[in-house]
Amino acid sequence: MAPQTDIALVSLGTTPGLRRADEALAELVREAGASCDVVAVPIGRAGRLRRQTAITDLVEALASRRAAHAVQARAIVYSTVTAALLARRRMPYAVRFDSPAALNRPGRSGAWQRARERRVLRGARLLLPWGEAAARALPAQVTATGGPAVVRLPVPLDEVKPAPARDVDAVAYAGYPRKRGLELLCRAFAEAAPPGARLVVGGLDRERGLRWLERHAVAEPAGIEWAGALPRAGWLALVARARVLVNASRWEDHGLTQLEALAAGTALVTVPSPGAYEALAQARALDARLVAADVSAEALVPALRAGLGLDAAELAVYGARARELLAPYRRDAVARTLSGAVLPALDIRP
């Protein structure tokens, strides 16, 4: 890597959402006139050890340190807290994250990550949480007087135009059925949906979906369609056709899927998933009836009924208000933050 590189982005990229976030950040840096090299983190054979949280984080942190070993740049940006946990402090660095370990690594299995996180984040020049929820979850020891600057830098949302006709009643993503609460979603839809309603589930095929439902003694509901894995453009087009997006996740580290739905003017019906769930505050502000009281199928039923009961005029008003609330997440707003606050804090002046 050439020494004249402004920013080296150490990209752990273990999920589609993280990869998209890193690609978007690199594009924005280059558009601002600075250079950015994305440093991919190969896991290698050690990836087979990733069966428990503490070991997974150790494997990924070691791989990130190896990947960044020969980096020469004016500043390093680590794409996640995990990527930075074992970082060598050779140059100014920033840490971008959807959720800190203080929030998403509870209990004994997250003890070393939480302890190490406090030291690593405290030593950073700049912290770049994806949203307000992630920023609020930072440990007090990190944000105390003399700590790094904290600048909220969202993943920029694409412009998603609503489809001319919303011919899908509900859509949901369930690529990770346990995390996404697939059985809760199906139980709630079976009870709440009127006859003939359609639920399109993306992220997994029918065979995998039925295996998960069978494990939990939940019947396949009428009206469900399994879309399988979709390219990003196909998924966004599907969301733009839906009246509501339903979220039954047991945990959310950020919730890009839900923010993208709101950007398309699609109503968000959701459980109050624990974690740095950025869209939860917007969902409550837009229509509190569509937010379940807890993470359960029983609580999701009345919220889903309310969402499916919205008429075309109500959906139009909801969508217009959602787009207003999402102004800080738009590409132009994120670009202004990057140029005005992030690059100067890292002593990069294109």
Neighbouring CB atoms inside 10 A of 22's CB total: 24
Q: How far apart are CA 140 and CA 147, in angstroms?
A: 10
pLDDT of amino acid 192? 98
Query: Which band of pLDDT confidence, cut at 50, 70 and 90, is reported for residue 49?
Result: low
Q: Provide the residue type at 99 as one letter.
A: S
- Cα 276 to its chain centre, rounded Å, is 9
- Lowest mean pLDDT, pick from 38-52, 58-72, 201-215, 328-342: 38-52
Residue 105 has pLDDT above 70, yes or no: yes
Tokens 């190490």 belong to which residue? 116
Q: How far apart are CA 18 and CA 90, in angstroms?
A: 25
Residue 141, helix vs strand vs coil: helix
- Cα 198 to its chain centre, rounded Å, is 26
142-201, pLDDT tens digit by residue? 988 888 999 999 999 988 888 888 999 999 999 999 999 999 999 999 999 999 999 999
Tokens of 184: 């809760």
Tokens of 136: 């609020």
Buried b (16+ CB within 10 A) or exposed e, 156-184: bbeebebbeebebbbbbbbbebeebbbbb
Looking at the chain, the whole-number percentage of residues with pLDDT higher than 90 is 85
Phi, psi of 260 (to 5 degrees): -65, -35
Q: Which CATH class is domain 168-327?
A: alpha beta
Tokens of 252: 């959310």
Q: What average pLDDT does this structure show over 111-135?
A: 95
Query: Which band of pLDDT confidence, cut at 50, 70 and 90, is reported for residue 15?
Result: confident
Nearest Cα neighbor of 91 from 142, 125, 122 is 125
CB 10 within 8 A of CB 39: yes
Kindly report, as residue ranges, where domains of CATH 3.40.50.2000 are found in the chain: 7-156+330-345, 168-327
Residue 254, helix vs strand vs coil: coil
CATH 3.40.50.2000 at 7-156+330-345, yes or no: yes
